[in-house]
Each structure stands twice: as C-alpha cells, then as structure tokens.
Amino acid sequence: MKATGWEQEEELRGASALCNLFANFLNTKISVGDAEYATGLMEALEGLWASSARQEDSALGAAEASMDESLLAAAKAAMATDAVAAQERLAVERTRYVRGLRAGNSVKPPFESLYLTENDSLEEIASVAGAYRVAGFQLTEELLNRPDSLATELSFLAQLFGEAAQAVSRDDIEAAHALCQEAGKFTRNHLGKWGPSYCEQAAEATDSELFRLAMILMGDFIKSLTEEEEGKGKTNCN
C-alpha cells in the first residue's frame, strides 16, 4: 500500500468536513429577512478559498481551481452592499437550482439519474442505494429523500472519509485504505461523473454571487476527488 496524504488523519478529516459543508449547504432551507446564514457561509467559503490558495497540496488545490479572484470579490461586495438581500437571492437560487421548483429552469436538479440517464432511471438510483447498503450508510431525515441527490452522495463520502480518519487514529491502516478505496470507487462510478457538470451549469446560470461562488468551489472540490481516484492529484487515495 502506498504511503500517501490520504492516509493521514488530518487530510481525511478535512475531506470529510468539506463534503459535509457542501452537503449541508444543499440541504439547508435558507430563511429570508436576515443575513445570519449568508454571513456564516461567506466566512466558510472565504476560508476555503484562502486555504486552497496557500496550500498547493490541499484537496481543492489539487483541482487546479478554475476560478479567478473576481468571483470571490463579487460575493464579498454583494454581502457588503446588502447582506440581507444577498441571503434572499441565495435562498431563491437554492430553491431554483437545488430543489428544482421553478418552471423553465435550464439546469436540471442535482440528481445523478437525471444527468447519467435520459429517463431518470430507477436502475441508476438503485445502483447508488446499493453502494450505500454495502457501506452501511443510513439515510437520515436531514438528507433529501432521493439517494442519488448530490447532497446525499456528498454525505456518504463524508462518512467514508470520517471513518477512515478514525481508522488512522487507531493505527488501523488496512481499514483506512479499504475505506479510501470505497470512496474512490464511488467517486469514479457515481459523483465524479456528473457532480462537476451540475455545479458548472448552476454557477453559469445563477444571478446570486454567493451561490455562484459556492457552486464553483463545490465543483472544483469534486473534481479534486476525481483526480485523486485517477492518481493525478497532489495526494492519492489508492
């Protein structure tokens, strides 16, 4: 087994935390009339941006991030101008592009079967659910009710990376390696095939600067996981 960064506890916990950050963003119903959620999200995204810029071997840095400074500046400017309005736009755009509740959307909701099949295939959904069963992953009330949602797939990877980190902490490198392999297999067969495409389309279509920043960062993070699986990243889970 290769001795790589993915077998280090800190790296694994970081990957798990990022998966949870984006899954929670997708699942959270955002209120209007205040700026509390938008402020917290902006702080988290700005911290992630700064971290990836400083560390070439970070999970996001491995994706050779496709964004430029204007995206971050635009989101910060929107918050500085009217944070309450920025949160309201964020809430509207989340409903439009995550829940898919607005007629005439050019972007399909983030469900794997809508991106990898032409007819919202139950077979694709069953394949995702089968991967969860094998790993002992339990769907919770907080997750969207479809197993092939982007939020659920990210939550699944968060669990695998978290369990791998725990295995490393108790010096069970064999277990950690097996969990990393499972995460890599799921990324290769499922999330990596469609997640970046959805994020790119949503980022291009939205008129919320904060939603766009979240989509770009999420897409680049998923790409970084795909590169780990292909052995092209700065670290390697194989």
Write the pLDDT tens digit of every residue in 11-31: 999 999 999 999 999 999 999
Exposure pattern of 63-78 as b/e (b: 16+ CB <10 Å)? bebebeeebbeebbeb
- Whether 64 shows a pLDDT value over 60: the answer reads no
Write the pLDDT tens digit of every residue in 161-172: 999 999 999 999
Alpha helices, DSSP H, located in 136-238: 150-169, 173-186, 192-205, 209-230
C-beta neighbour count of 115 within 10 angstroms: 18
Percent of the chain with pLDDT over 90: 65
Write the pLDDT tens digit of every residue in 188-217: 999 999 999 999 999 999 999 999 999 999
Write the pLDDT tens digit of every residue in 124-180: 889 999 999 999 998 776 655 689 999 999 999 999 999 999 999 999 989 999 999
Q: What is the DSSP string of 64-94?
A: -----HHHHHHHHHHHHHHHHHHHHHHHHHH
Q: Is the pTM of this model over 0.85?
A: yes
Q: Which domains occur in the chain, in start order? A: 5-227 (1.10.3480.10)
